[in-house]
Amino acid sequence: MNEIKVGLAGFGPAGSFFHAPLIAATPGLRLAAVVTRDPAKAERVQATGADVVDSAEELWDRADLIVIASPNRTHVPLATAALRAGLPVVVDKPLAGTAAEAAGLIRLARERELPLTVFQNRRWDGDFLTIQRLRAELGEIRRFESRFERWRPVPKGGWRERGGPDELGGLLYDLGSHLVDQALHLLGPVAAVYAESDVRRAGVEAEDDVFLALDHVSGARSQLWMSAVAGQPGPRFRVVGSERTYVKWGLDGQEDRLRAGELPDAPGFGVEPEAAWGRLGVEDDVRPVVSEPGAYLDFYRGVVAMIREKAAPPVDPEGVVAVLEVLEAAKVAASERRVVSVPVSVPVSVPQPGA
């Protein structure tokens, strides 16, 4: 079958380090064109063999699939335009700024009978895949602790740190989109949210130190930390089950390897060294457990199946609506210093083309 031509909107860190190399390494996909007006970025795009264009609208006639990796505030308008142009769409997280906007995109995709999915790549982190493999040994998961903490005392600048609310910058929508998605994917819907959100660094306008506490409908609790000012980060995961506890330090290595220019289809790309493995057990009866290989490529393999075989999307956008409901509740909880109930979403059906 012919390759699926991909049009990529945006060539910042998300587009250049994540999407472009993953697309290039996925059988059945070809990066055809990229939107960027930056001369240095344009040179890097041309080195891949893709065309450089000045606007997203120029992608519509060049591509069979649109990938949106532009600044967060542009996700909804660009996804809307691409769907109206009759094209399947992949949107980097966050899908939208509100659950209502996300539901609107889902309705549009349903009306046009077009596939829509969201790049929640952290579902394919090796340590998170390991937690899912260990569920039987953990027993009933009662507490899920998850951290994405860094030490960046000097701001990098840019819209993620300096932009106002309309930019959808800050750690809540950046890292929180991942941590909340993992919590819901593992433990199901959330009934209530408590949040703390602060700006700790001079010259930064968006939150850079955030804590969320989620009460799941199941009775489990998630505690999520995201920070740019943690000089000694806590464990990446601490999962407390009725039978055993799993503790894992250090971040999944796929992002660092992609940033270093390693090919995501190279042998051993997602494999963690033994020193990075987590530990499972209770008290003195604790053992290291082999980490599952990280598998970001599985997302784009799922995208190919979604388009060619009319398979389910690798990330169901309906589930991302629930993530956004939690993030919206967290904003209210932090500003009003109270626990906020999360509404129960009305499911939005997303039939595949031809269904």
Same domain, 44 and 172: no
Query: Which tokens belong to 47?
Result: 């080195």
By C-alpha distance, which of 77, 94, 98 is closest to 160?
94
DSSP lists the bridge partners of residue 9 as 35, 68
Strand 141-149 to 65-68 pairing: unpaired
166 and 254 within one domain: yes
**Domain final residue, candidates 104, 119, 134:** 119
**317 inside domain:** no
Structure tokens at 44: 């890097």
Cα angle, residue 208 at apex, residues 206 and 213 outer, rounded to 5°: 110
Check whether residue 174 and residue 293 sit in a common domain.
Answer: yes
In a domain, 49, yes or no: yes
* Cα–Cα dist 299/67, whole Å: 13
- Indicate whether 283 and 159 sit together in one domain: yes
Same domain (yes/no): 99, 196: no
8 A C-beta contact, residue 236 and residue 249: yes
Domain extent for 32: 4-119
The residue out of 119, 153, 183 marking a domain boundary is 119
Q: What is the pLDDT along the chain (355 residues), one digit of tens a residue?
A: 589 999 999 999 999 999 999 999 999 999 999 999 999 999 999 999 999 999 999 999 999 999 999 999 999 999 999 999 999 999 999 999 999 999 999 999 999 999 999 999 999 999 999 999 999 999 999 999 999 999 999 988 777 777 666 778 899 999 999 999 999 999 999 999 999 999 999 988 889 999 999 999 999 999 999 999 999 999 999 999 999 999 999 999 999 999 999 999 999 999 999 999 999 999 999 999 999 999 999 999 999 999 999 999 999 999 999 999 999 999 999 999 999 999 865 443 333 333 3
221/272 same-domain check = yes
Q: Are 136 and 277 part of one and the same domain?
A: yes
Torsion angle, alpha carbons of 41, 16, 251, 230, to 10 = 40
Do 144 and 268 lie in a common domain? yes
Query: Would you say residue 84 lies in a domain?
Result: yes
